[in-house]
């Protein structure tokens, strides 16, 4: 059965794969949540291409065990995205240029709970933690920021509940996850606008893995949901190698800022990486700016780059 599934996955991929990455020798990449799943697969591919890859992980021992399986130059640093003090500590310890930041880590459809700073866990980890990390590291970034979103941003009437970001009045694990993944895309949109206005050459892009079999789904709050996802992982999903391709494509190919990369197959569930669309809600510039302002207020972290000087005409 495993061999049959692998063969089906291969038939659904395009010719682009991780062996086509450019030479990344001399570059440094940070991958959050690199200890498993598509994060680990992406980290391995980047390291094989010559990059020095920093595993930014909550559990350092698990991170070290994962890094030991990677072929290339790695190091492991602690980062808990659900704790803004940890995010600041990670950023404060950074020195030197950073070519690539991959905001990959995430939690999915958890029972209602809060981060150390009091935010709903999925919004706080998937969006606010990465928002703070990106802005704190941005003065060091030389090439691009890739944030991993999800097709979940399309679920139902996914929106940013500005009047109740913690969803206290109407919490559902699915709704909270959809909000956080929509926030990832709006963050990318507004980050690119600010980079452009700053005259920066750094690009912000987003990617989603389609339906990839990872351990992320194992933390869903409902036993029925976990059982359903186990079946989906076995019979429908592509493996983590294919799931990592959109991230790697966004991280290394010459794409416009604010691009969104996902699988090219039916429903963007599987296949080779390509540019994909997003919902109108995920393309709303006004909402993106509002979310950015609120995120600055909640995290205490602002955009660090000054606007570009206007060009004077004779």
Q: What's residue 308's pLDDT?
A: 87
Q: What's residue 9's pLDDT?
A: 39
Q: What's residue 309's pLDDT?
A: 78
CB-based contact 49:21 (threshold 8 Å): yes
Q: Which residue carries 């866990």 as its tokens?
A: 121
Active site residue 249: no
Q: What's residue 203's pLDDT?
A: 98
Q: Provide the 10 A C-beta neighbour count for residue 63.
A: 26
Domain boundaries, the chain: 2-299
Q: Are strands 28-32 and 52-57 parallel, antiparallel or unpaired?
A: parallel
Q: What's residue 156's pLDDT?
A: 78
Q: What fold is seen in the domain 2-299?
A: Rossmann fold (3.40.50)
Q: What's residue 311's pLDDT?
A: 61
pLDDT in tens for each of the 314 residues of the chain? 434 433 443 444 458 999 999 999 999 999 999 999 999 999 999 999 999 999 999 999 999 999 999 999 999 999 999 999 999 999 999 999 999 999 999 999 999 999 999 999 999 999 999 999 999 999 999 999 999 999 999 897 789 999 999 999 999 999 999 999 999 999 999 999 999 999 999 999 999 999 865 555 444 546 655 444 454 444 455 888 999 999 999 999 999 999 999 999 888 788 999 999 999 999 999 999 999 999 999 999 999 999 987 766 55
What is the Cβ-side half-sphere exposure of residue 226, based on CA atoms within 13 angstroms? 10
Q: Which residue carries 């036993």 as its tokens?
A: 223
Q: Provide the 10 A C-beta neighbour count for residue 114.
A: 12
Q: Which of 171, 177, 211, 303 is catalytic?
A: 177
DSSP the chain: -HHHHHHHHHHHS-S--GGGPPP-TT-EEEEETTTSHHHHHHHHHHHHTT-EEEEEES-HHHHHHHHTTSSS-EEEEE--TT-HHHHHHHHHT--S-EEEEEE-----SPPS-B-TTSSBHHIIIIIIIHHHHHHHHGGGEEEEEEEE--GGGGSTT----TT-TT--SS--HHHHHHHHHHHHHHHHHHHHHHHHHTT---EEEEE---SB--GGGGG-S-HHHHHHHHHHHHHT-B-HHHHTHHHHHHHHS---TT-EEEE-SGGGSSSSEEE----SGGG-HHHHHHHHHHHHHHHS----SPPPPPPPP-
């Amino acid at each position: 059965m495993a061999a049959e599934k692998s063969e089906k996955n291969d038939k659904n991929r395009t010719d682009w794969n991780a062996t086509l990455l450019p030479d990344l020798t001399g570059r440094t990449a940070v991958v959050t949540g690199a200890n498993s799943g598509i994060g680990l697969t992406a980290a391995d591919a980047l390291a094989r291409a010559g990059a020095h890859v920093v595993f930014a992980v909550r559990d350092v021992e698990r991170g070290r065990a994962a890094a030991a399986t990677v072929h290339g130059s790695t190091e492991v640093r602690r980062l808990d995205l659900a704790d803004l003090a940890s995010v600041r500590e990670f950023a404060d310890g950074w020195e030197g240029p950073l070519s690539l930041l991959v905001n990959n880590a995430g939690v999915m459809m958890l029972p209602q709970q809060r981060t150390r700073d009091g935010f709903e866990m999925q919004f706080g980890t998937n969006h606010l933690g990465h928002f703070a990390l990106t802005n704190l590291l941005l003065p060091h970034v030389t090439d691009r920021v890739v944030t991993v979103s999800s097709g979940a941003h399309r679920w139902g009437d996914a929106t940013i509940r500005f009047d109740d970001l913690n969803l206290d009045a109407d919490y559902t694990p699915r709704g909270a996850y959809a909000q956080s993944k929509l926030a990832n895309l709006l963050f990318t949109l507004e980050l690119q606008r600010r980079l452009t206005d700053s005259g920066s050459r750094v690009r912000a892009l987003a990617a989603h893995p389609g339906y990839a079999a990872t351990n992320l789904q194992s933390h869903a709050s409902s036993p029925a949901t976990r059982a359903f996802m186990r079946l989906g992982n076995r019979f429908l999903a592509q493996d983590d190698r294919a799931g990592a391709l959109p991230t790697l494509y966004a991280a290394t190919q010459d794409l416009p800022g604010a691009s969104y990369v996902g699988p090219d197959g039916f429903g963007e569930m599987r296949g080779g990486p390509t540019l994909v669309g997003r919902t109108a809600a995920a393309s709303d510039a006004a909402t993106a700016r509002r979310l950015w302002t609120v995120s600055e207020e909640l995290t205490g972290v602002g955009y660090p780059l000054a606007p570009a000087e206007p060009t004077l005409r004779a």
